[in-house]
Amino acid sequence: MKSPKFYFFDLGVARSLAKQLTIEPQPSTGYFGELFEQLVVLEFIRRERYLLRDYQFYFLSTEKNELDLIIERPGRNLACIEIKSTTKVNEHTIRKMNFFLDVFPEADFFCLSRDKNVQNFGRIKSLPWSQGLAEI
């Protein structure tokens, strides 16, 4: 896809403009997952603007697969990131990321989630989202 994603600067303002402030986000719903993804992406952007590391942010969507966030980090490998609101990451959670392993052979792959456990699935490292923000 060639259309950009737009992340509103503040989730509360975005929810207000969408008239969704009275909707309580419930875990395991698409709405909750969308808010969680946006929260993590906005936090990456906020930290980059504060630290001035010259990171560039992208996403990639094909007909069947998607990467929620790709971070171009000068002097380092690309960071390819899948963001999941689940509290339990397993092989099934990260299965679609496997498609991109050959596409980006030199990249670092991460799954950031609400799971408190650090896990490795081959080249894909699963981290709690706040730990991932610090490590990436």
Residues 12-42: b if buried by 16+ CB within 10 A, e if exposed: eebbeeeeeeeeeeeeeeeeebebbbbebbb
Which domains does the chain possess? 11-135 (3.40.1350.10)
- Residue-wise pLDDT for 31-64, tens only, equals 788 889 888 998 998 898 888 899 999 888 888 8
Predicted confidence at residue 13, as pLDDT, reads 67
pLDDT band at 136 (very low <50, low <70, confident <90, very high): very high
Element (H, E) at 32: helix 30-51
Q: How far is CA 96 from CA 74, 83, 126, in A?
A: 26, 12, 14
Residue 101: the pLDDT is 96
pTM, two decimal places: 0.85
Q: Phi and psi dihedrals of 51, rounded to 5?
A: -90, -15
Could you report the per-residue pLDDT of 78-103, keeping only the tens digit for each? 999 999 999 999 999 999 999 999 99
